Each structure stands twice: as C-alpha cells, then as structure tokens.
C-alpha cells in the first residue's frame, strides 16, 4: 500500500493520522471485521432467540441497550432484529424501549468518562495526568486537539454510530472525556439511535425474515462503507 506523505501536517495531526493509518493497514481490519461479525451474528441470533421466549424480554431489551451504551458491549442490532422478528407487531414498541435504554445508559457512560478525566473545577484528574505522562505522543495538547475535532464533528461522529459496529459506550464515554455538550449529546443520541431502531422496525414489519440474511450477506460491504466514511471524515478534519 502506498505510504502517506506526512510532511505537510502538524505534529499532532501527524501523530493522530499515523495511529489510525497503522491500525487499518497493520491489523487487516476489514478481513477480521467481516469474519468476527459473521461469527458473532450467528451466535447472538441463537441465544437471543431463546431469550425472547421469556416474559421479561422487554426488561432484557432495556438492560442490554442500557449496558451497551455505558459499560458492557452487546450486539444490540442483532438482539433487536431477532426479538422483533419473533413478534413483528411489537417492533415499534421494542424500538421505544431500546431507545430509552440507549439514552439513559449514555448518561452513565458520559458521567464515567467525564468524572474519570476531569475534576469539577475543569482540571485533569490523576488518571488523565497518568495517561499524559505515560502514553507516548498523548499529551494535554493532543487531548485539546482531539477535543476540538470532537466538538467540530460531534454530530457526525454520533450519526456514524448508527452504522459502525462499535458499542455505544465508546461514544458516550468519549463524549464525557472530551467534555462534549451534554444537552447536544442527549439530543443526538435520542435522534440518531431512535431513527436507527425505527428504521429497523419498519424493515422488519415490511420485509419480515428477509432482513437478517440480507444483513449477514452484506456485512463486508457495510464494513467497507464504514471505513471509507471514517477516512473521508478524518481527511476533512485535517483541512
């Protein structure tokens, strides 16, 4: 793969781009992403189908999405589709419960990130200072640079969470760490995640069981699109 010329970039931008570039090229991201997602899709579908028979399934939906948005990753898309396919008439109800779980859980995730990184007076915590002192290339200047990017592209980043196979806790904790406006974060979570589940609910009630096989068949295409979108946004942020 052709090497990128970093000569015209500032030091902080160069370091950030190098980290991302190496991550994509050296870990064979697309191949591993496709293989892992296929495996997890099948595994999750099986145990979710068993769980969906419980009378407490709505509570489980809320808990899964709550935890996914703050502390523990769950394959929420597969869970939602599987549960809704078993009872299509409940799809929109499930969408409401899932959105509620995501929004409330994201508050906790935001609080975790914010309190671990920043003190009430705005200074850095000891944990943050430890990272600054012991992580090569990651200083308070790098932090403020990334914070500027997050503020600039916050809504776009949260919109991408709809299609990227990344637990929402990453976004909620990161928003807290970089002190993203809480009201704006709440609105974006409600809007984008709510639309995500409403679209899935509509697809399920319209196309039925054809949704899941189609999703599994096109995982590689989805992964490629996600990487391309991330690269485009990152290049735009450097302009």
Nearest to 201 by CA among 81, 75, 102: 81
**Winning range, highest mean pLDDT, from 105-114, 138-147, 206-215:** 105-114
Nearest to 114 by CA among 182, 187, 179: 179
Lowest mean pLDDT among 5-14, 35-44, 221-230: 5-14
Q: Tell me if 167 sits within 8 A of 73, measured CB to CB.
A: yes
End-to-end CA separation in angstroms for the chain? 23
pLDDT value at residue 27: 44
**Winning range, highest mean pLDDT, from 14-23, 37-46, 70-79:** 70-79
Say yes or no to pLDDT of 203 above 60.
yes
pLDDT value at residue 207: 76
Average of per-residue pLDDT across 83-108: 91
Mean of the per-residue pLDDT values for the chain?
75
pLDDT value at residue 218: 56
State how far the alpha carbon of 107 is from the alpha carbons of 68, 90, 100, 175, 194, in Å. 12, 26, 11, 10, 16
Average of per-residue pLDDT across 77-82: 81
CA distance 114 to 236: 27
Say yes or no to pLDDT of 93 above 50.
yes
| pLDDT tens-digit readout, 156-182 | 888 878 777 778 888 898 899 888 889
CA distance 71 to 79: 17
DSSP assigned state of 4: P
Q: Tell me if 102 sits within 8 A of 168, measured CB to CB.
A: yes
DSSP assigned state of 207: H
Question: Per-residue confidence at 32, pLDDT binned at 50, 70, 90?
Answer: low
Nearest to 41 by CA among 85, 69, 81: 81
DSSP assigned state of 162: T
Average of per-residue pLDDT across 88-112: 93
pLDDT value at residue 95: 94
| pLDDT tens-digit readout, 97-108 | 999 999 999 999
CA distance 225 to 166: 14
Average of per-residue pLDDT across 205-227: 64
Question: Per-residue confidence at 208, pLDDT binned at 50, 70, 90?
Answer: confident
CA distance 153 to 159: 10
CA distance 29 to 192: 25
């Amino acid at each position: 793969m052709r090497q990128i010329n970093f000569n015209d970039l500032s030091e902080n931008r160069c370091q950030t781009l190098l980290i991302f570039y190496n991550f994509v090229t050296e870990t064979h991201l697309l191949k591993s992403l496709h293989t892992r997602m296929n495996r997890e899709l099948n595994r999750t579908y099986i145990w979710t189908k068993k769980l969906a028979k419980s009378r407490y399934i709505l509570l489980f939906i809320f808990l899964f999405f709550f935890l996914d948005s703050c502390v523990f990753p769950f394959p929420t898309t597969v869970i939602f589709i599987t549960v809704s396919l078993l009872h299509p008439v409940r799809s929109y109800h499930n969408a409401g419960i899932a959105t509620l779980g995501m929004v409330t859980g994201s508050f906790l995730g935001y609080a975790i990130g914010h309190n671990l990184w920043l003190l009430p007076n705005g200074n850095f915590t000891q944990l943050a200072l430890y990272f600054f002192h012991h992580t090569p290339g990651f200083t308070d200047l790098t932090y403020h640079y990334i914070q500027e990017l997050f503020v600039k592209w916050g809504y776009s980043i949260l919109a991408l969470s709809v299609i990227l196979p990344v637990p929402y806790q990453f976004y909620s904790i990161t928003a807290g760490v970089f002190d993203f406006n809480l009201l704006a974060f709440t609105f974006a979570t409600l809007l984008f995640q709510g639309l995500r589940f409403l679209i899935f609910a509509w697809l399920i009630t319209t196309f039925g069981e054809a949704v899941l096989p189609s999703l599994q068949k096109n995982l590689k295409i989805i992964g490629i699109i996600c990487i391309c979108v991330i690269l485009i946004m990152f290049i735009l942020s450097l302009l």
